[in-house]
């Protein structure tokens, strides 16, 4: 059982128990060349599921028993989370990999690294196998929640590297070195010797088909393999598009009754996670991260005309804005409102009284996402 684990040691310069480097089994085809990827770093913890393989979308893990079915959340600060993610993004900057701390919707393929409380362990990270050719696109790996940005990023990327088909190498400057040596490392663009264990025993490697495309037998060129796998990063200079699907233009919302707020976000780079801000009559109603679609109940207690303003920023920092007037009527006027629209083509509710924004309630009680565009 333990041979199915690929650990990275937890203490600087201290080796861990030797472990074989197994291969992922199955008949899935390798990832298409230059196919963009998504890495979800989960700081919130998870209740794992068993007997469903490894599937990040549903928290399925073959390592369920190793963690008693639970990984606790990261106990560090928000600043420490930001520093760790910043380091991860910097190391992956050459590659077309989106790094996010917000779980993608189920229609998006992604690797998840659970970064948090793993319980008493002798290692800093664990992957279920080496996924030669990156055939399984929703793998789950684990990293002990260290507060150091360098250590944290190293362990996250090391375990993600195994799920992308990379093996241990003997260079302390490569992120696939099997010992956490507190050295600033990267996915190096030189052929490094593949090793079988933390004693750095030379090996020919298991993913030789991928390795020998760039090195002689027994070598691995991490940077080149990832570049071939995901393609180079592409500068994103295009702002997203915002479509306010509901409330529809000039369609009435009944005061005191839950209506529907639906906002669709699209971008030339998809999948994409956005920082979304909503204001109604200038009052902040919602702020948070959203994957391509926001759905929520909308409750406005008083009749009037309200201005909904939407601001969205994509992962590259490109901003976009949109707005819509929301016409709120009382229940008795709702039917007349619809009839007026049929006969005259337009109808305007009375303007909201001064200060009405303070009475506004936007209840975002539930969220849902409809499948968005996929990157290919």
**Tens digit of each residue's pLDDT (9 = 90 or more) over 285-335:** 999 999 999 999 999 999 999 999 999 999 899 999 999 999 999 887 666
pLDDT over threshold 50, residue 375: no
DSSP secondary structure string for all residues of 272-298: --EEEEEEETTEEEEEEEESSEEEEEE
Lowest mean pLDDT among 11-15, 50-54, 96-100, 213-217: 11-15
pLDDT over threshold 70, residue 3: no
Q: State which fold the 2-230 domain adopts.
A: Collagenase (Catalytic Domain) (3.40.390)
Distance CA 131, CA 203 (A): 17
Structure confidence at residue 46 (pLDDT) = 98
The torsion angles phi and psi of 245, rounded to 5 degrees, stand at -80, -35
Sheet with 274-280: list strands edge to edge.
252-254, 319-329, 304-313, 274-280, 283-290
Q: How confident is the model at residue 183 (pLDDT cuts 50, 70, 90)?
A: confident
Structure confidence at residue 323 (pLDDT) = 96
Structure confidence at residue 129 (pLDDT) = 94
Work out the percent of the chain whose per-residue pLDDT is above 70.
81
Distance CA 201, CA 122 (A): 21
Q: Residue 234: CB partners within 8 Å, gap ≥ 6?
A: 96, 269
pTM: 0.79
Mean pLDDT of all residues belonging to the chain = 84
Instruction: Output b/e per residue, 277-295; b: 16+ Cβ within 10 A.
Output: bbbbbeeebbeeebbbbbb
The alpha carbon dihedral of 283, 288, 289, 293 has a sign of: negative
Structure confidence at residue 252 (pLDDT) = 84
**Tens digit of each residue's pLDDT (9 = 90 or more) over 20-42:** 445 666 657 778 888 999 999 99
- Per the rule left: phi > 0, alpha: psi between -120 and 50, beta: everything else, 314 is beta
Domain 241-359, CATH 1.10.3720.10 — does that match? no
Domain boundaries, the chain: 2-230, 241-359
Structure confidence at residue 6 (pLDDT) = 56
Structure confidence at residue 356 (pLDDT) = 39
Write out the two tokens for 41.
């770093």
Beta bridge mates, 274: 290
**Tens digit of each residue's pLDDT (9 = 90 or more) over 331-366:** 876 665 555 555 544 444 444 443 333 333 444 433
3-state secondary structure of 252: strand
**Tens digit of each residue's pLDDT (9 = 90 or more) over 188-240:** 999 999 999 988 999 999 999 999 999 999 999 999 999 999 999 988 999 99
* 8 A C-beta contact, residue 24 and residue 129: yes
Lowest mean pLDDT among 110-119, 151-160, 179-188, 289-298: 179-188
């Amino acid at each position: 059982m333990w041979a199915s684990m690929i650990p990275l040691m937890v203490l600087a310069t201290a080796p861990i128990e030797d472990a074989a480097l197994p291969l992922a089994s199955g008949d899935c085809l390798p990832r298409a060349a230059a196919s963009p990827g998504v890495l979800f770093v989960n700081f919130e913890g998870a209740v794992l599921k068993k007997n469903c393989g490894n599937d990040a979308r549903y928290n399925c893990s073959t390592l369920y028993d190793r963690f008693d079915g639970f990984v606790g959340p990261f106990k560090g600060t928000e600043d420490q989370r930001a520093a760790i993610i910043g380091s991860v993004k910097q190391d992956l900057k050459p590659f077309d990999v989106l790094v996010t701390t917000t779980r993608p919707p189920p229609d998006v393929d992604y690797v998840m690294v659970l970064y948090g409380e793993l319980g008493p362990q002798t290692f800093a990270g664990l992957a279920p196998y080496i996924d030669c050719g990156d055939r399984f696109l929703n793998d789950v790996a684990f990293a002990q929640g260290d507060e150091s940005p360098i250590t944290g990023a190293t362990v996250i990327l090391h375990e993600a590297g195994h799920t992308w088909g990379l093996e241990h190498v003997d260079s302390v400057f490569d992120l696939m070195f099997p010992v956490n040596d507190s050295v600033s490392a990267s996915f190096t663009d030189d052929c490094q010797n593949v090793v079988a264990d933390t004693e750095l025993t030379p090996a020919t490697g298991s993913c030789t088909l991928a390795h020998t495309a760039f090195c002689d037998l027994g070598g691995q060129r991490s940077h080149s393999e990832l570049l071939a796998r995901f393609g180079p990063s592409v500068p994103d200079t295009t702002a997203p598009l915002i479509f306010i699907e509901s409330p529809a233009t000039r369609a009435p919302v009944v005061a005191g009754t839950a209506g529907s707020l639906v906002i669709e976000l699209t971008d030339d780079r998809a999948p994409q996670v956005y920082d979304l801000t909503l204001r109604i009559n200038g009052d902040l109603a919602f702020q948070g991260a959203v994957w391509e679609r926001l759905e929520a109940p909308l409750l406005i207690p008083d009749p009037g005309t309200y201005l909904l303003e939407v601001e969205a920023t994509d992962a590259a920092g490109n901003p976009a804005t949109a707005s819509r007037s929301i016409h709120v009527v009382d229940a008795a006027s709702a039917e007349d409102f619809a009839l007026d629209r049929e006969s005259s083509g337009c109808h305007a509710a009375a303007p909201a009284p001064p200060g009405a924004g303070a009475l506004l309630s936007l209840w975002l009680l539930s969220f849902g996402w409809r499948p968005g565009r996929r990157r290919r």
